[in-house]
Amino acid sequence: MTGKQVSTKIQAPQGMSDILPEEQLFYKKVYAVGEKIASFYGFKEITPPILESTELFEKGTGEATEIVEKQMYSLKTKGGDSLTLRPEFTPSLARAYIEHGMISLPQPVKLFSFGPVFRHERPQAGRYRQFYQFNLEVFGSKRPIIDVEIIYIYYNILQALGIKKLIIELNSIGDKECVGDYKKILLRYLKKNEGSLCADCKRRLKTNPLRIMDCKQDRCKQIVSGAPQIIDHLCKDCHNHFKKVLEFLDELGLPYNLNPCLVRGLDYYTRTVFEIIAEDELGRQLGSLIGGGRYDNLIKLFSRKSIPACGGAGGVERIIAIMKERGLNPTINPGSRVFLAQLGDSAKIKSLKLMEDLRRAGISVAESLDKDSLSAQLKNADKIKAPYSLIIGEEEANRDMIIIRDMDNGRQTSVKIDKVVEELKKKIKSIN
Ligand code: AMP
């Protein structure tokens, strides 16, 4: 090997981790449940590229947001393009909707995605720099039932994963018209209290005063608790829209909490915004699992058409953390039914061929092709509690035979190798 000696320990980048074999089952479970429920409600899967033009997020997510200001992983390609690892799915899906002419499909168009997103945040529990999201978007409908459908689907996905004690935090942040008037009223109030705001919020007074509403600093929270609330300043259409959302949620019996401080971090939201939070036994909130809302003005930023839309994103690692904490382990496939032991090169190659026959017959099989000692191999068979072992020694290999050993009583029978799959099927059926 050439090159410099590596002196520092190479590790996964901070805030990013390997999804180890034992974790895979959790991701698969979240995907499988999400996919099944979303498909049932007519959502189709779409997988956008992980890298997109930086401009897409600057325009879409919004230049005054924390994500664009501080958290994007951006790079210049050799060809001089500026690309960014997606920090969220929504702008990518809006781009894809326009790029593939989905505007001319019957509306609404319902899409879902699953995959990693990247944000350069300060890593801490439940906050990573690479994490997975399960994303739902509906393009082409302004009806409040769609906002509720998205909330309902996420709620049902979490329930189907076994996560109970959920609460939906809800607010409406109006549309361009009413939010403009509200911002002026809010600014007037906040400016009176400017001296007590944290440094970030002082800056937000100029860039994005609405964000002050969800600042986590105690001093800002106190000021915000006396601030005018947007809900009292919605225009008639936004008011009616929100009223309908609440009525539908009531009819579905979903537990929600009106939260005037919920404004969400992204520029594109209009009207309904929501988060789904898990609570522990004592009713303490365990952080947001899902976040989303309506974004009726996003598509207009990229095309001449005005297309209303609504969506949400579920944080897969946070969902998995709760599943683990509550012992909601995904079921593991039944252990290997059969252990395949072999001796000698000719037996090894016959074993490999036989494994493929077993796979096609749907019989799960474990092996130790790299081992030579028969007793070591049978110990492995005991360890995984396989009810049967198949043994091919050199003699069996020469005669195209194989031994089936019942691991419970040690009884052995010899069969032709091309009959073993059939034989095993019968035996396995009798123990199921
Ligand atoms: P957002 O895209 O910020 O609306 O977040 C949607 C969901 O993604 C949240 O409710 C969280 O469950 C999850 N999430 C957001 N940021 C992170 C992060 N840095 N690490 C892990 N999960 C996150």
Q: Which domains are delineated in the chain?
A: 21-175+235-325 (3.30.930.10), 338-425 (3.40.50.800)
Residue 117 Cα to ligand 1 midpoint, Å, equals 9
Q: Is the CB of 131 under 6 A from ligand 1?
A: yes
Predicted pLDDT at 13? 96
Residue 19 predicted with pLDDT over 80 = yes
Residue 317 Cα to ligand 1 midpoint, Å, equals 9
Residue 6 predicted with pLDDT over 60 = no
Taking CA atoms only, the protein residue closest to ligand 1 atom 13 is 315
Taking CA atoms only, the protein residue closest to ligand 1 atom 7 is 315
Q: Is the CB of 92 under 6 A from ligand 1?
A: no
pTM listed for this prediction: 0.89
Residue 147 predicted with pLDDT over 60 = yes
Q: Is the CB of 118 under 6 A from ligand 1?
A: no
Q: Is the CB of 23 under 6 A from ligand 1?
A: no
Residue 322 Cα to ligand 1 midpoint, Å, equals 14
Q: Is the CB of 86 under 6 A from ligand 1?
A: no
Residue range 56-74, pLDDT digits in tens: 999 999 887 889 989 999 9
Taking CA atoms only, the protein residue closest to ligand 1 atom 19 is 127
Alpha-helix residue ranges (DSSP H) falling in 253-370: 298-302, 316-325, 345-360
DSSP state string for 99-139:
HTTGGGSSSPEEEEEEEEEE-----BTTB-SEEEEEEEEEE
Q: Is the CB of 121 under 6 A from ligand 1?
A: yes
